[in-house]
Amino acid sequence: MKAVRIHQFGGPEVLIYEDVLDPRPRKDQVLVRVRACALNHLDVWVRKGLPGVKLPHILGSDIAGEVVEAGEYVTGFRQGQRVLLAPMHFCGRCAKCVAGLQNQCREFTVLGNGVDGAGGDPSRADGARAGSEFRGGNCGNSDGSDVSLPGDYHRGR
Ligand SMILES: [Zn+2]
């Protein structure tokens, strides 16, 4: 796939559009074709050198797209479903995650910060998000299609 990555910190000149390995979703993940990724100020901070970012790195935390593939452990999503990703990343297995306190997980971070973001297409989404963040109420788009909004944050197992 193609992605915009950084191999060093700096100004906009460090953004490189290049080939990267295709994401391979786990059984508890969905694969989302990225249709839009907003520029968040986080992207600027990360590009300039936020601590803890491993290089090379794919920016992008605010993602909208459509489900290309859902792992066998993921329910409630179908191929072609339009989705909006909540950008939180967490393990989904620890006591905090199981208790619904994912923001207290030791692995908690934000897409495009501690883990690769959506500057590539397609992008993987963890099952924790797929089983929960996608599960929120639907609202209609102007074209009549559905978009799933972030809802509760319970693990979808
Ligand atoms: Zn956790």
Note the pLDDT of residue 101.
94
Whether 117 and 58 have beta carbons less than 8 Å apart is answered as yes
Determine the Cα angle at 7 with ends 28 and 10, to 5°.
120
Token output for 117: 């973001």
- Look up the domain containing 42 and give its range: 2-156
Instruction: Provide the domain count of the chain.
Output: 1
**Residue (of 110, 101, 106, 119) closest to 60 by Cα position:** 119
| pLDDT tens by residue, 33-65 | 888 888 889 999 999 999 989 999 988 888 888
| pLDDT tens by residue, 92-114 | 889 999 999 989 999 998 888 88
CATH number at residue 8: 3.90.180.10
Question: 106 alpha carbon to ligand 1 midpoint, in Å?
Answer: 6
Question: 88 alpha carbon to ligand 1 midpoint, in Å?
Answer: 11
pLDDT more than 90, % of the chain: 24
